Amino acid sequence: MKKEDLRIVYMGTPDFAVEALRQLVEGGYNVVGVITMPDKPAGRGHKVQYSPVKQYALEQNLPLLQPEKLKDEAFVEALRAWKADLQIVVAFRMLPEVVWNMPRLGTFNLHASLLPQYRGAAPINWAVINGDTETGITTFFLKHEIDTGEVIQQVRVPIADTDNVEVVHDKLMMLGGKLVVETVDDILNGTVKSIPQEEMAVAGELRSAPKIFKETCRIDWNQPVKKVYDFIRGLSPYPAAWTELINSEGEAVIMKVFESEKIHETHDLTPGTIVTDGKKYIKVALPDGFVSILSLQLPGKKRLKTDEFLRGFHLTNEFRMN
């Protein structure tokens, strides 16, 4: 079968999912339909925003479905009418069996980790938060339990100590697009030799990648320097690590922290104590040193470098982080 004859249905929602779809379309593959999340109001004006995948699908005049419920009979019938040979899922949601089992060649998913490591919703964040020096991308066939199907291909990617989640996300996104196309070609050529995840060698313990909530993002200043540094970059720029900045009267304001620097230095200060010259730097005490905050944001304000922030905010050593 030629790639022009293989009927592909593509499912995805965020930016991460656009690259693989773009590479398929520009590569001349036959994408007969796209499925993405329903439109949601976003921002202060609650304006309805299209998902990045929907925007791209509209620009390319690709047929589009946005089901509220994936078991809805009208949706299942509309999907069946597309007569897909193969379905591809990138950053979408859990599919019921009636959907993933529909095409004759199956459904495969692109996941942003080296499965079986980091099954779950936020694999890129957790790999950086945990200080990993390597991550990757995996294509695998879908089955009942989430992120557990047989692995088709993997690509390994180093994580530098200075990389934040945005840098790693963008690396994986570009490589992921390429890997999706290679996986489709292997399926077309009948050269896939998928491996059950239980048979794959894993170094160290298996870690999960649960969804991240606001409370997940709160900085614990009782952790070691390396842990706090990795935590900040693992949530930067989105959703962003945060802390409470508390003044001498005990009043608290939420502060998001985007960039930091490790300082290994002995001291006898309580964790969360602020050391600042009020002009150039803000250091926060941790049990084994300091983290120097390089960029931050207060509610309703824009993100600022520390020296810019200190020009407009009178910060003294009487403040602390909580």
Residues annotated as binding site? 113-116
Structure tokens at 227: 């842990």
120: region left, alpha or beta (phi > 0 left; psi from -120 to 50 alpha): left
Q: In sequence order, which residues have a C-beta less than 8 Å from that of residue 297 and are 6 or more positions away? A: 240, 255, 256, 258, 303, 304
Per DSSP, which regions of 67-150 are E strands? 86-90, 107-111, 134-141
CA distance 73 to 55: 26
User: Residue 290 in contact with residue 303, Cβ under 8 Å?
Assistant: no
The separation between the first and the last C-alpha atoms of the chain, rounded to the nearest angstrom, is 61
| Encoded tokens for 68 | 């509220």
Question: Binding site residues for (6S)-5,6,7,8-tetrahydrofolate, as ranges?
Answer: 113-116
